Amino acid sequence: MSCQRQTVSQFTHAVLDAETSPATLQQVVEHGFEQIAEAQTASRAPLACAAGCAFCCYHPVDITAPEAFALAAYLRTVLSDAEFEAVATRLAANAARIQALSHDEHALAQIPCALLNH
């Protein structure tokens, strides 16, 4: 395990051993995002994506509960109530569509991410 990954793992375990409230989970996710941003900055490798590219938005993406909570909290701050409800509706529709699909079937279905604005 890399030093940075071990540090993140130790931080996560220490925080979650102390408390597992939604606020604590949010803190862990935010810390992880900060570590990712620092690693990207340090690597100086250009990202393959660019504004307007939606290639990755049609592939299955796994998300943990803490990430989902963090994303929902963020979306509540940047979207109107109507926009948030539209995303929630698309999420529910996507969940219903993929529920019976295998991972491979899901990938082949090319279902757009619920966060993708068409």
Q: For residue 98, report the phi and psi dihedrals to the nearest 5 degrees.
A: -95, -10
Q: pLDDT over 70 for what percent of the chain?
A: 86
Q: Which residue range(s) make up the domain with 24?
A: 1-46
Pair (90, 117) in one structural domain = yes
Q: Are residues 116 and 60 in the same domain?
A: yes
pTM: 0.61
What is the predicted pLDDT for the residue at 59?
Answer: 87
Whether residues 68 and 19 fall in one domain: no
Confidence class for position 42, pLDDT limits 50, 70, 90: confident
Q: Do 30 and 54 reside in the same domain of the chain?
A: no
User: Three-state SS for 80?
Assistant: coil
Residue 41 — φ and ψ, nearest 5°? -65, -45
For residues 114 and 50, which has the higher predicted lDDT (pLDDT)?
A: 114
pLDDT tens per residue, range 71-106: 898 999 999 999 999 999 999 999 999 999 998 999
pLDDT digits (tens, 9 = 90+) for 25-36: 777 778 777 877
91 shares a domain with 76: yes
Domain count, the chain: 2
Contacts of residue 68, Cβ cutoff 8 Å, sequence gap at least 6: none
Closest CA to 116 of 54, 24, 71: 54
- Whether 37 and 54 map to the same domain: the answer is no
- 62 against 108, higher pLDDT: 108
